[in-house]
Amino acid sequence: MDAAIASIKLYCGEVLEVSNTYESDAIGFKTQNRFLNLAMKIKVDCGPLQLLLRLEAIEIKLGRLKPSIFSEYTDRQMDIDIIFFDDLVMNSKELIIPHPRMQDRLFVLKPLAELCPDFIHPVFKKTVRELLAECSDQSKLELSLER
């Protein structure tokens, strides 16, 4: 996680805030591995597609392999997603912003709510705090590292 944060600082822009780190079970596939999750607020010097390319390069540098042809979800060393990009709404082949499943994932909403609880989702017109309160995800989420 520290290597990812350092790489984002180096290649993507200024890291303004980093949430606590949470440990969660996998969603969408079976594995005995647990995942570490955090949210970051960054100030970038590029647009969303260029940011995506930079983040994908960081993922590969940190050991991410190409997705399995058998499943959309697999174990991976690093997975970095763009959840919001200011209040931009974007739906292209390469990238969907806001992230299309963020409202259904406790492991996204909990750390995100630490950084921007009053940010209004540009599609749902609800705050991150409201989305967290309404989230039906009952998966286990544990605080792993306080920042």
User: How many residues are there in the chain?
Assistant: 147
- Where in the sequence is the domain holding 96, given as residue range(s)? 2-145
What pLDDT score was predicted for residue 103? 98
Q: What is the rounded average pLDDT for all residues in the chain?
A: 90
Distances (CA, A) of 140 to 22, 27, 34, 93, 115: 10, 11, 10, 32, 21
What pLDDT score was predicted for residue 70? 44
The string of pLDDT tens digits covering residues 15-31 is 999 999 999 987 665 66
Give the integer Cα–Cα distance in Å for 114 and 18.
9
* Share of residues in the chain with pLDDT > 70 (%): 87
Q: Per DSSP, what are the bridge partners of residue 34?
A: 25
The string of pLDDT tens digits covering residues 67-118 is 544 445 555 578 999 999 999 999 999 999 999 999 999 999 999 999 999 9
Give the integer Cα–Cα distance in Å for 7 and 86.
21
CATH number at residue 12: 3.30.70.560
* pTM for this model (two decimals): 0.88
Q: How many domains does the chain have?
A: 1
